[in-house]
Structure 1
Amino acid sequence: MKIRAVLHVIVCGLLLALVSFAANVEAKQSKSQPTKIGVLVSLTGSWSTLGKNTVAALQIAANQIAAQTRGRQRFQLLIRDTQLDPSEALDAIRDLNSRGVKIIIGPQSSAEVAMIKPFADANNILVISQGSTASSLAIPNDNIFRFCPNDIREADAIVALMQHDGIRVIVPLWRNDAGNNGLHDSVQIRFQALGGTVTPGFRYEPTTSDFSAADSSVSSQIASLIAGGTNLSSIAVYLAALDEVVGVFDLAWNYPALVNTVWYGSDGVALSAVLLDDPVAGAFAIHSRYPNPIFGLPDTLRNRWQPVADAIEARTGITADAFALSAYDALFVVQNALVHANPQKNFGNFKAAFVNEADHFNGVTGSTALDAAGDRENGDFDFWAVRLQDPRATWVRIGTYNNGVLTIF
């Protein structure tokens, strides 16, 4: 009996020790340090629409991951407002590097990505941009990854729409930065390849606040085309811009040639809240038709992305686009890659794991598979235009360009 009693005590003690050990392990896991994620976005500068929605998307994703893993996988978002200024982006990544950050989501513009790329490559920092499209940055084996298609694919989409609408001549007006220069060049190449004509147009600096010279030049070029016998209905203005579209449109009303010509836009303005907030510019956008292509969201996956988009809009009051939702997907890919490697200990293994996980991940935006340069392979686009509804200006989805097929609603 005494032996049984002793054995009983020993067994109970071992069980208690195992339970205690398991509890301590779980407690240590739940108390593990969160992974630092640098977030470079424009919150107070141009294109702040995307910046604000990106932060909301990442906060939602981080909260969901923490809940799903019962706190074992947590992220600390170190948010930096770059104001869409490349020098601010470089200062921010230097600061984040000093804090041990090896994973960056953003920045959103190609000019910023181009500025931080050498530092990221030299310091083993993995950068995931949700909005950079410049094909000049499609460089294999670097540390820059982009969860959106590049400007060559966007050019295919907008030129297909122009051709459908009977446009044969375009007068380009574009912002002098990496992203918009890339869009201008790709659109010009594609449009000319299909037999169209592209005039010299006008390129303005990012610091421009008075668009009189820009609007006047474009107006004069349109007038010269008409004087030379070109039918007005076959002429369009192609505008590759950001929030300064408001300044362009405010003055455009003063030039009959601009008022009577149709305009086409780019991803940097699509779904812009700033344009809607200006009644004069908004009215010009409605009058000029002004469709803007943007990386599209699959209708077949609406049950996945719509709840996330609604949650983002509830936080920011701004309609969420595929750029912001791709940032949401990016954090889940990062989570999966961290299972295989720690970027602090072996950056090369982590980078390889990230690429592998991206190639096999299907998120709310669909497949995140990357091409050889680390850019998203999926090149589907939605077209958005400003329309008057209930009596206010709002963005309306007017068409798609999926797998080379144009559909107009």
Structure 2
Amino acid sequence: MNCEKIPTFRLRNRISFCAIYSIVEAIFAPAVPSAFQLLSVNRHSFVDTSVPVLRSLSHMNSRSLRRFIVVVILLAAIKPVRSEQPSLHSHREFKIGVLVSLTGSWNSLGQNTVAALQLANEQLQAEAKAEHGGYRFHLFVRDTQLDPSKALAAIQDLDKRGVKIVIGPQSSSEVAMIKPYADAHNILVISQGSTASSLAIADDNIFRFCPNDMREAEAIVALMWHDGIRTIVPLWRNDAGNNGLHDSVKADFEKLGGTVTTGYQYQPITTEFSAATTSVASQISTLLIAGADPDSVGIYLAAFDEVVGVFHSAANNSILSSARWYGSDGVALSAALVGDSDAAAFAASAGYPNPTFGLPDALQNLWQPVA
């Protein structure tokens, strides 16, 4: 793969708006290219970085067309045409469920999602009042804490309240948990953060507006290969999304002729990471003893906010402190990471780029006002 032919994309803002503007893209430009930006971390904040990224170009296929049609139908349902009588819409209420992590891991995306939806809600209601005498959108926000069982309980509660459209949940493990219920009860689920390719199932009730793990893997693997990495030691969270990332990264890296070690998979409830970091360090040590160039070995970490605990543990190991680390979208723009000075310092010294969904310049007039 010739990385010189891969376009570059500069990070222009610090806030992730995948939650709302992925939907905007589906409405206004369903065939625009998708991209992943690669972010680096410094001691105090995410910094603007120009690096190679993989931009996937494709024409609208049948699934994209179906997504577009569904969103148009949704808009038709909630935004009456100007010719209709105001009395038909006055005081009408539309119920929208919102399943996000507000106090659990990856809460930066959850909080941004709610903020974006509140802005959209205010704007739509103002327009409706001016045009038709007013109708209301009721956002039923539920904090899942990134816990699949809580996500299931939340959608069951929303169903009892008559909610048939849900924004979120943000993780693939949550989507996998609620999918059978959503399909059985005809609830439309629109996830802003799920990437697991295993959930790309035709004709179900789940729609996702982020590229899947295969696209993300292409981006991060292209960067690692460009950086001279030829062996990676993976460290990843055992859930649907991060398992998918591990599998896709492994497949793509090996296609290029690279080597992927056994690595270490940890459970979502893990809070102490000495076993994980000791295993990764041991695998790197074995590679170095066998003659591997230290500059050709990298660590691929697919995680969420527990990255802070991982880096606290890794900082005590000289092998891990001198290694190059690469990450996943679940950590890009993580408030937990930048809010911890020790973990952020470790990330900065390790480089630690993370891919995230890229907003196209063509739609800058839409996202810039709230960036």
TM-score, normalised to structure 1, is 0.68
Residue 35 in 1 paired to residue 94 in 2?
yes
2:114 pairs with 55, 63, 78, which one?
A: 55
Q: Which position in structure 2 is the counterpart of 1:209?
A: 271
> 2:107 & 2:308 partners in 1: Cα distance?
14
Q: What secondary structure, in the 3-state scheme, does the structure 2 residue paired with 1:69 have?
A: helix
Q: Which position in structure 2 is the counterpart of 1:167?
A: 229
Q: Which position in structure 2 is the counterpart of 1:377?
A: none
Q: What secondary structure, in the 3-state scheme, does the structure 2 residue paired with 1:238 have?
A: strand
Aligned pair count?
285
Amino acid at match of 1:111: S
Amino acid at match of 1:46: S
1:46 pairs with 105, 115, 122, which one?
A: 105
Q: Which position in structure 1 is the counterpart of 2:315?
A: 253
Q: Which position in structure 1 is the counterpart of 2:52?
A: none
Asked if the contact 1:40/1:80 (under 8 Å) is kept, the reply is yes
Q: CA-to-partner distance for each residue in 1:123-172, whole Å, 9 max, x for gaps?
A: 00000000000000000000000011100000000001011111100000
> 2:268 & 2:135 partners in 1: Cα distance?
40
Q: Which position in structure 2 is the counterpart of 1:68?
A: 127
Asked if the contact 1:65/1:73 (under 8 Å) is kept, the reply is no
Q: CA deviation at 1:72?
A: 4.1
Q: What secondary structure, in the 3-state scheme, does the structure 2 residue paired with 1:30 have?
A: coil
Amino acid at match of 1:93: I
Matches within 5 A, 1:262-341: 262-309=324-371
TM-score, normalised to structure 2, is 0.75
> 1:237 & 1:31 partners in 2: Cα distance?
55
Residue 83 in 1 paired to residue 145 in 2?
yes
Q: Which position in structure 2 is the counterpart of 1:224?
A: 286
Asked if the contact 2:91/2:136 (under 8 Å) is kept, the reply is no
Q: What secondary structure, in the 3-state scheme, does the structure 2 residue paired with 1:184 have?
A: helix
Asked if the contact 1:42/1:52 (under 8 Å) is kept, the reply is yes
Amino acid at match of 1:44: T
Q: Which position in structure 2 is the counterpart of 1:233?
A: 295
Q: CA deviation at 1:64?
A: 1.0
Which has the greater radius of gyration? 1
> 2:335 & 2:271 partners in 1: Cα distance?
19
Q: CA deviation at 1:27?
A: 4.6
Q: What secondary structure, in the 3-state scheme, does the structure 2 residue paired with 1:297 have?
A: coil
> 2:241 & 2:209 partners in 1: Cα distance?
15
Moved over 6 A (4+): none
Q: CA-to-partner distance for each residue in 1:259-304, whole Å, 9 max, x for gaps?
A: 1110000000000011011111010000000000011111232222
Residue 26 in 1 paired to residue 86 in 2?
yes
Unmatched segments (≥5 aa) in structure 2: 1-84
Matches within 5 A, 1:326-365: none
Q: What secondary structure, in the 3-state scheme, does the structure 1 residue paired with 2:89 have?
A: helix
> 1:109 & 1:199 partners in 2: Cα distance?
26
Q: Which position in structure 1 is the counterpart of 2:191?
A: 129
Amino acid at match of 1:42: S
> 2:136 & 2:226 partners in 1: Cα distance?
48
Q: What secondary structure, in the 3-state scheme, does the structure 2 residue paired with 1:172 have?
A: strand
Q: CA-to-partner distance for each residue in 1:10-58, whole Å, 9 max, x for gaps?
A: xxxxxxxxxxxxxxx53552222x1100000000100000000100111
Q: What secondary structure, in the 3-state scheme, does the structure 2 residue paired with 1:229 have?
A: coil
> 2:333 & 2:156 partners in 1: Cα distance?
31
Q: What secondary structure, in the 3-state scheme, does the structure 2 residue paired with 1:162 have?
A: helix
Amino acid at match of 2:260: V
Q: What secondary structure, in the 3-state scheme, does the structure 2 residue paired with 1:195 have?
A: coil
Amino acid at match of 2:201: I
Unmatched segments (≥5 aa) in structure 1: 1-24, 310-409
Identity value in percent: 68
